[in-house]
Amino acid sequence: MAPIEDHPLRYRLANELHARPFPSMRAPSAAIYVAFKQPEMAANRDRTKDLAHLHDLLDRHGVPHPQPGATHYYGQIGRHWLKWEQHTEFVTYTIFTEGVADRPFEAAAFDPFPQDWLETAPGQRVTSILLRVEDMPPSKEIEKRLADWFVPESLAVSEVLDGSAVVAGDFRIDTNGHMRFAVFAGAETGKRRVGRIVQRLCEIETYKTMSMLGFARVRSMGAQLGTLDTRLTTLVEEMSKEGSKAEETLQALLAISAELETLSAQSSFRFGATWAYEAIVNERISALREERHAGRQTFLEFMVRRYQPAMRTVRSAQERLDAMSSRGVRAANLLRTRVDVERSAQNQALLESMDKRSDLQLRLQRTVEGLSVVAISYYAVSLASYLLYPLEEPTGLSKNMLTAFVTLPVVFLVWSLVRRLRKSVEK
């Protein structure tokens, strides 16, 4: 039996689903996380710089490099485990460490990432996280630690994955520039489940931050949108006024439409990425299967109160931009129709004027033809008379009589020739 021919990408696509496994962690342990993004055109960046930066970190620990063109890496560096992932717009580094420091969330926890290495990153820090995993203590002890570690006003706490762990975070940047999250894992919670919880918390924070870039974009373009909206409204109002110059208004309207299209083109990627990141945030929170803990707000409630209003603002701005573009197109079409009608009226008047001119030219031409017949006839009669003068004596007729006899036939002959010539020209 002949073997089945495989698609050349079959194994690569199948292995892609298993290429980024969840980390395995057991309490007590810690994770430090950082994400870098280039400030402009991050999706089209030179990705070899990302790999070079990873290689620099691996070389410091004498660890082999991943395969050329790799988009993810997981391996041990010293006493830590490093997970690296390359995404469309950013790269992430996560270091997992067994055990926790005596002082929670101290600045030294970030030391596995060398300072000089952080300073040479090909991009800017989008977010960084200190995450502490502990065994689940009694409820009162959890409340005490949360009060010491986080800002109560924005603290979100919930029991996740059927009560197997309690997660907490206040989504605030501490004095060292990091976000803080805590995970209290139950005694029976497996290490893979703990790893999934940790990764989802990191992803929630990362994709929340990335989607908020859309909000920042909307705020930066707010004044420009307002100005364009005012100009567009003014032009539309002028369209209905009598005496307005349609062509000048059309040119101004086309200029506004061009600005709107430019703004839309510059923002389309960011808007699309915002909705993709927002969907991931909601999906990761849903995957935690939250339950309320000690009457605290859950992560979902925090997002509904603090995060979703920003996303609604972005959606509203996108809809406003689309509506303004559509309004500009409709107004331009109406104005273009008005310009066409005015030009048609001008063309009609021009045609009427040309008809009048043609009629005058025809009359003038006929007048000239009549004069031409007279002039030609005069000279023809004179020539004919000279030819007949020798017949004066034989015929006994005077010169005047001979001229009179020849005048009518000559005039008729000239008139016939001119008429035939005109008809041939008209054909």
Q: Which of 202-211, 247-256, 321-330, 331-340 has the lowest mean pLDDT?
A: 331-340
Do 186 and 249 lie in one domain? The reply is no
Statement: residue 244 has pLDDT above 70: no
Overall average pLDDT of the 46-75 stretch = 92
Domain total in the chain: 3
Contact (CB, 8 A) for 167 and 158:
yes
- Residue by residue, DSSP assigns 219-278 as HHHHHHHHHHHHHHHHHHHHHTSTT--HHHHHHHHHHHHHHHHHHHHHHHHHHHHHHHHH
Is pLDDT above 60 for 132? yes
Q: Which residue has the higher pLDDT, 205 or 370?
A: 205
Q: What single-letter amino acid sits at 340?
A: D
Task: Work out whether strand 156-160 and strand 80-86 pair parallel, antiparallel, or are unpaired.
Answer: unpaired
Residue closest to 410 by CA, chosen among 379, 386, 388: 379
Residue 134 · residue 182 · CB < 8 Å: yes
Tell me whether residue 354 is in a domain: no
Q: What pTM was computed for the model?
A: 0.78
| Mean pLDDT to the nearest integer, 156-169 | 95
List Cα–Cα distances, 141 to 28, 144, 146, in angstroms. Answer: 16, 5, 9
User: Residue 117: is its pLDDT beyond 80?
Assistant: yes
C-alpha distances (whole Å) from 151 to each of 171, 205, 265, 300, 305 are 9, 17, 40, 18, 16
Asked if the structure places residue 5 within a domain, the reply is no
Which of 348, 373, 402 lies at the terminal end of a domain, its last residue? 348
Same domain, 319 and 406: no
Average pLDDT over residues 90-103: 94
For residue range 341-355, list pLDDT tens digits in order.
667 777 777 777 787
Q: For residue 131, what are its two tokens? A: 């995450």
In three-state secondary structure terms, 308 is helix
Domain identity same for 73 and 19 = yes
- Does residue 281 register a pLDDT over 80? yes
- Is 295 a domain residue? yes
Q: Which of 136, 156, 190 is the last residue of a domain?
A: 190
Residue 373 confidence (pLDDT): 66
Residues 273 and 160 in one domain: no
pLDDT of residue 155: 95
**Matching residue, tokens 């996380």:** 33
Structural domain boundaries enclosing 415 = 384-421
pLDDT digits (tens, 9 = 90+) for 170-198: 999 999 999 999 999 998 999 999 999 99
Residue 97 has pLDDT above 80, yes or no: yes
- Report which of 130, 133, 98, 132 is spatially closest to residue 113, judged by C-alpha positions: 130
In a domain, 356, yes or no: no
Cis peptide before 28 (omega within 30 of 0): yes
Please compute the mean of the pLDDT values over residues 196-216 and round it to a whole number. 96
Pairwise pLDDT comparison (243 vs 219), residue with the higher score: 219
